[in-house]
Amino acid sequence: MKSSSTLPILMYHGVDARPSVVTLHPDRFRWQIEWLNKCGYNGISLGELVRYIAAGESFPARAVVLTFDDGYQNLYTEAFPILRQYGFSATVFLVAGFCNKDNRWPSQPLNIPTMKLLTWEQIGEMARFGIEFGSHTINHPRLDRLPASTLHHEVVMSKVILENRLGRPITTFAYPYGQYSEVVRDAVRNTYDLACGTQLGLATPTSDPYVLERVEAGYLS
């Protein structure tokens, strides 16, 4: 079996026709997935990626990980049908305290459009079809600005909430706004198997498994 020393982890947020820094037009999303499929790429989950990094092994050739931060409801209506059509898995990072609500968490910039988030019923359906879910905290704060007790609540209790709701282990995490400190990273390392940052780059077998590089999907032509 052919292998590769690098692997792209693509980072998405919303898949929506409204232009913004956190949305990708549904037509462009379809084009990207069709292109990946045509080029022979296979989607793997972050849960699968953990095993390769833990062993320091090369990745499967033409493997790609699709990640979605925040858990917008348009993932269910726009992205999920396309992923199913082409057989791609994905990892969705949920803001546990805002599921079934919208994205107006306290730290949300005003220039970000208000969008509904996934309901628990939609999350359950997506999970049954192989979509993996991870934690994106409870309230989407900047973790590097929090006192220790609040940091523990956001990192650890978000995992507990999601596991109780989904009935399955939650092993992956994404830092809100890509911001972290060594204290934050240590808290995440003690709670999860793997975490994604927002630093631009390709993952390698020697990548830090708690600050994995990603590629913003908007960079794809």
Least confident range of 9-18, 55-64, 172-181, 192-201: 55-64
pTM: 0.96
pLDDT tier at 61, thresholds 50, 70, 90? very high
In the chain, % of residues over pLDDT 90? 89
Q: Is the pLDDT of residue 193 over 90?
A: yes
Residue 159's pLDDT is 98
How far apart (Å, rounded) are the C-alpha atoms in residues 146 and 217? 29
Let me know: does 44 contact 38? Beta carbons within 8 Å: no
Question: In terms of pLDDT, which residue wins out, 55 or 101?
Answer: 101
Q: Note the pLDDT tens digit of each residue in 93-135.
A: 999 999 999 999 999 999 999 999 999 999 999 999 999 999 9
Over residues 191-204, mean pLDDT: 96
Q: How far, CA to CA in Å, does 112 sit from each of 17, 105, 169, 198?
A: 14, 11, 31, 18
